[in-house]
Amino acid sequence: MKLGLVVDLDTCVGCHACATACKQWNTSGTIGPLSDERPHGKDPSGSWLNRIHSYEVGDSPHSKTVNIPMSCMHCETADCVTVCPTGASYKREEDGIVLIDQDKCMGCNLCSWACPYGARELDADSGTMKKCTLCVDRIYDEQLPEAERQPACVLTCPTSSRVFGDFDDPDSEVSRLTRERAGQQLMPELGYNPVNTYLPPRNPKQQDKIEVSPMQGVRQLVNRIINR
């Protein structure tokens, strides 16, 4: 299995619900708590496992706002695991999830240096590295109804821009979406082979050219005449 996420950049509205749901679930999950420093002070800070960056793509007036949520990509070539001197960072063989053993981490920061996506943040309180677990404590929990055995960020997304699944299965929704919508990796040139893919925004001009059958065409023509 190669578990990961697909994020649809066409429909993501940048509401930060995924980041908030992630913090809420994981602060009491297996790697929790995700501590905050001075949460009500002037310069609050804290560890988050998912952050949303908003970009302006293209030049005004033909520009578009694109929100890119970033969490761990669970890379196939995970350098963060290779550089770890203590063995705290590891990639699970059975499903490819990259995790940190909180009891072994010595807080040297080297894995965060090796990560190009900013997926790892040092928890100032515990002195250990924290990162996305792909909600490993949710997705295998048989106490939960089957529909809820998904990462918290996926469940909460109001526009269903996040899809969770197995990239090794060619018929899974994540594989199908990546194939049909030309899902791409971020910074592929570094060679980390991130598992998560991002679906680029649809081209509005192409959306107009939806193929219609001859019968539908006649029906549309009739509708248009009647409306007039």
Does 110 participate in binding another protein (rule CB under 8 A)? yes
- Judged by CB, which is closer to another protein: 126, or 168? 126
Q: Which of 84, 97, 135, 153 binds another protein (CB under 8 A)?
A: 84
Residues 138, 93: Cα–Cα separation, whole Å:
18
Residue 56 within binding range of another protein, rule CB under 8 A: yes
Q: Site mask, another protein, residues 172-191, x = CB under 8 A? A: ------------xxxxxxxx
Dihedral, CA of residue 208, residue 212, residue 214 and residue 217, to nearest 10: -50
* 8 A C-beta contact, residue 135 and residue 152: yes
32 binds another protein (CB under 8 A): no
Residue 213: Cβ within 10 Å count = 8
Among 76, 122, 166, 168, interactor with another protein by CB under 8 A: 122
Taking the complex as a whole, how short is the minimal distance between the CB of residue 183 and another protein, in angstroms? Answer: 10
The residue from 13, 104, 158, 220 that contacts another protein (CB under 8 A) is 104
R_g of the chain, CA atoms, integer Å? 21
- Contacting residue, 13, 30, 124, 148, with another protein by CB under 8 A: 124
Given a contact cutoff of 8 angstroms between Cβ atoms, the answer to whether 33 and 102 are in contact is no
**At 215, which helix (H) or strand (E)?**
helix 214-227
Which one of 1, 15, 108, 155 is in contact with another protein (CB under 8 A)?
A: 108
The answer to whether 155 contacts another protein (rule: CB under 8 A) is no
CA distance 126 to 189: 34
Residues 6-25 binding another protein (CB under 8 A) are 14, 16, 19
Buried b (16+ CB within 10 A) or exposed e, 12-44: beebbbbbebbbebbbebebbebebeeeeeeee
Interacting residues with another protein (CB under 8 A): 14, 16, 19, 43-48, 51-59, 65-66, 68, 70, 79, 81-88, 103-110, 112-118, 121-122, 124, 126-128, 184-192, 198, 200
